[in-house]
Amino acid sequence: MGVAMSVMTLNSCKMEVVVDPNFPSVGAVSQNATKAQLDALSIGQFSTARNGLGTYNQVVGVVGKELFNFNTTESRWFTELNGIRPIDNSAFYNTATTAFGLPVRQANITITACDNTTSVNDAQKSGYKGIANTFKGLAYLYMLNAQGKNGIRLNVEDPFNPSKPATYAESLAGIAKILDDGATQLDQAGAAFPMTLPTGFAGFNTPATFKRFNRAIAARVALYQGDYAKTATLLGQSFLATTGAINLNLGPVHTFNPSSPDIANPLLNSTSVRIVGNDKTWAAIGAGDRRAAKVAVQATPISYSAAGASYSSRFLANMYRDAAGSVPIIRNEELILIAAEVAAQTNNATEAVRNINLVRSANGVGNYAGATTQAALINAILNERFYSLWYEGHRWLDMRRLNRLGEIELPAAGMKVLENMERPVQEVNWDNRVVK
Cα–Cα distance, 423 to 400 (Å, whole number):
18
> Comparing C-alpha atoms, which of 193, 9, 40 is closest to residue 109?
40
Q: Is residue 274 part of a domain?
A: no
Segments in 148-203 forming alpha helices (H): 168-187
User: Mind listing the pLDDT tens digit of every residue in the chain (436 residues)?
Assistant: 344 333 333 344 444 544 444 445 677 788 899 999 999 999 999 999 998 999 999 999 999 999 999 999 999 999 999 999 999 999 999 999 999 999 999 999 999 999 999 999 999 999 999 999 999 999 999 999 999 999 999 999 998 889 999 999 999 999 999 999 999 999 999 999 999 999 999 999 999 999 999 999 999 999 999 999 999 999 999 999 999 999 999 999 999 999 999 999 999 999 999 999 999 999 999 999 999 999 999 999 999 999 999 999 999 999 999 999 999 999 999 999 999 999 999 999 999 999 999 999 999 999 999 999 999 999 999 999 999 999 999 999 999 999 999 999 999 889 999 999 999 998 999 888 744 3
Same domain assignment for residues 113 and 245: no
Same domain assignment for residues 385 and 343: yes
Predicted TM-score of the model (pTM): 0.93
**Can you give the pLDDT at residue 276?**
98
Concatenate the DSSP letters of all residues of 241-263 into one string.
Answer: --SSS--TT-S-EE---SSTTS-
Q: Is residue 265 part of a domain?
A: no
Half-sphere CA count of 328, side-chain side, radius 13 A: 21
Q: Is residue 119 part of a domain?
A: yes
Are the beta carbons of 216 and 251 closer than 8 angstroms? yes
**Can you give the pLDDT at residue 392?**
97
Q: In which domain, by residue range, is 394 found?
A: 240-251+331-408
> Which of 226, 260, 276 corresponds to the end of one domain?
226
**Can you give the pLDDT at residue 19?**
45
Positive or negative, the CA dihedral 56, 58, 59, 63 is: positive
Q: Is residue 335 part of a domain?
A: yes
> Comparing C-alpha atoms, which of 391, 368, 408 is closest to residue 267?
391
SS3 content of the chain, % helix, strand, coil (to 5): 45, 10, 45
Are the beta carbons of 8 and 16 closer than 8 angstroms? yes
**Can you give the pLDDT at residue 395?**
98
**Can you give the pLDDT at residue 12?**
43
In total, how many domains does the chain have? 2
The CATH number of whichever domain residue 207 belongs to comes to 1.25.40
Same domain assignment for residues 161 and 218: yes
Q: Is residue 234 part of a domain?
A: no
Segments in 363-401 forming alpha helices (H): 374-388, 395-401
Same domain assignment for residues 244 and 162: no
